[in-house]
Structure 1
């Protein structure tokens, strides 16, 4: 039941101070009432169908007309008929109410424990094998849960988490921010990737300091792997000389195969010809992979189930 206090200001189309959001707040609670009366053309019958007091419904229609500044109904006793203005208004009201109903159905469907949706973000390097394998394993017990999948670099995914566009994301480094909850799941060894005809290609292991004079190809600034590369090189005593910057690890591996530099990269899903991949013995070259979500953000049942599944993969995410 909706009541409008008599002290609430009324707005009319001719008001110089009319504010669209205020008008929407005034009108919205009465739109379903209006549609019910318009459908039945009878105040008493509409009140019974909507289970509201007749007096409440009558007052709501009077206030609606006053706020709009037009007559929506022609009245003969308790029977009413729409005026031309009322018919025009009804067309828009029915469209708005239908859109609200569609929105409600959509969010209810997304939250359904069996068939709901999870908006899940992950790094490009995890898209070929890791994430498909995770989803396949999860759907063994939740076969109808749907996924909206987003591949991006870490900082972009964190921003989408904050904007409410993602429920969860797999990222690296594991973020440390007061508005986020993050859990380390696993780590991924990084290798120094060199062209197959490079003098170092016959080696199995290397200290990163031995690559101080090499030209590097890296991800662009802002990517987690770029930050890790810069930090590891600094720890090894040098600043990498960067010739090419890209947005995707396999593109970098292709640049290495073309002889354009060396790179610190996670293992490929499928071995690529034209390169050699060396274990880095010092400093310890690895990146942590973690799952993050917005602190205090309530989970729908499918999101809660997938989060629990991911946390159960600690230490075995990449195996």
Structure 2
């Protein structure tokens, strides 16, 4: 409705000053003429035009389809006088004749046909959008926009979805993998309903609930001086070169904080976006890394338990405060909260 078809009809056919024929069906409809001076005085503000036109488009389409004001009013269950006034005001706003009168019937002018084609497309798009949002909110078949960390994508999230779909087999998901800050931005933008993230955010516009904790490991090359150990204090890696995730990732913040707590600032040689890429860099002897456990053991590396400081990350679910939930979103949120303490282990 914001496109050119709303404006283009003005150039097709200027309204004349004559009154239209006075049939019984269209007497009130025909009793008005266009104030051409008002219609042509200056440029019409598009937004104001749309606001005025929008409520009358369905009425116009009904009259155009039936070519009969009384019949259209009956089909749409509105008073004929209301429909007639709406058509007069529509023609006034556009500055063109949309209808020609022939006795008790009306027919579209050339401008009317041009306008009608665009109106039907616009109404069809509105109907499609209404169907889509109703379908997304359907308790049985609706859709959940769910975000999660890359490191949870191999095992944790597939397991969660499998368990949830056992009770809700037809609910659909739009899945988004990203780092924490990016997911929170999409949450705030309304693009996500829920997200699994770490660290658990503390922000006034978000609601977040801790679900589980995941221990982190110091990953070293298989031929590293510490590789024969099972446990290590993080301070023992103070002189090592680190490979880490990029700034903005939750694991990067956790790595920086843990190293600071251990008494050093890590020397970073490589920054990446994927934990498994970092494991590959470690296997190649390019550094060490603090990472969550892998879904599948990676050859060429050894994963050491960190005894001090306590190395773990909290994983939680977050959503926008005050944002209304559709039934499928509410059901999935309830399911996630029920997994508190066993998100990673079942």
Measured against the shorter chain, the TM-score band is over 0.9
Of the candidates 233, 241, 256, which is equivalent to residue 207 of structure 1? 233
Give 1:19 deviation, angstroms. Answer: 1.9
Q: 1:1-319 residue pairs with structure 2 within 5 A? A: 14-319=40-345
TM-score, with length taken from structure 2: 0.88
Give 1:21 deviation, angstroms. Answer: 1.5
Distance 1:298 1:234, change over 3 A: same
- Post-superposition Cα deviations, 1:49-71, rounded to whole Å, max 9, x if no partner, equal 00000000000000000000000
Q: Secondary structure at the match of 2:190?
A: coil
Aligned equivalents of 1:86 and 1:166: distance in 2? 42
Give 1:14 deviation, angstroms. Answer: 4.0
Q: Secondary structure at the match of 1:139?
A: helix
Q: Secondary structure at the match of 1:287?
A: strand
Check whether the contact 1:12–1:18 (CA below 8 A) recurs between aligned residues.
no
Aligned equivalents of 1:144 and 1:263: distance in 2? 41
Q: Which residue of 1 aligns with 2:16?
A: none
Check whether the contact 2:69–2:84 (CA below 8 A) recurs between aligned residues.
yes
Instruction: Return 5+ residue gaps in structure 1 as ranges.
Output: 1-9
Aligned equivalents of 1:145 and 1:40: distance in 2? 40
Distance 1:13 1:282, change over 3 A: farther
| Structure 1 outlier segments of 4+, above 6 Å | 10-13
Check whether the contact 1:11–1:23 (CA below 8 A) recurs between aligned residues.
no
Give 1:23 deviation, angstroms. Answer: 1.0
Give 1:18 deviation, angstroms. Answer: 2.1
Instruction: Return 5+ residue gaps in structure 2 as ranges.
Output: 1-35
Answer with 1 or 2: which has the greater Rg.
2
Cα RMSD between the aligned structures? 1.3
Check whether the contact 2:150–2:179 (CA below 8 A) recurs between aligned residues.
yes
Give 1:78 deviation, angstroms. Answer: 3.7
Aligned equivalents of 1:168 and 1:15: distance in 2? 51
Check whether the contact 1:12–1:68 (CA below 8 A) recurs between aligned residues.
no
Give 1:11 deviation, angstroms. Answer: 11
Aligned equivalents of 1:11 and 1:270: distance in 2? 76
Give 1:13 deviation, angstroms. Answer: 6.7
Check whether the contact 2:39–2:92 (CA below 8 A) recurs between aligned residues.
no
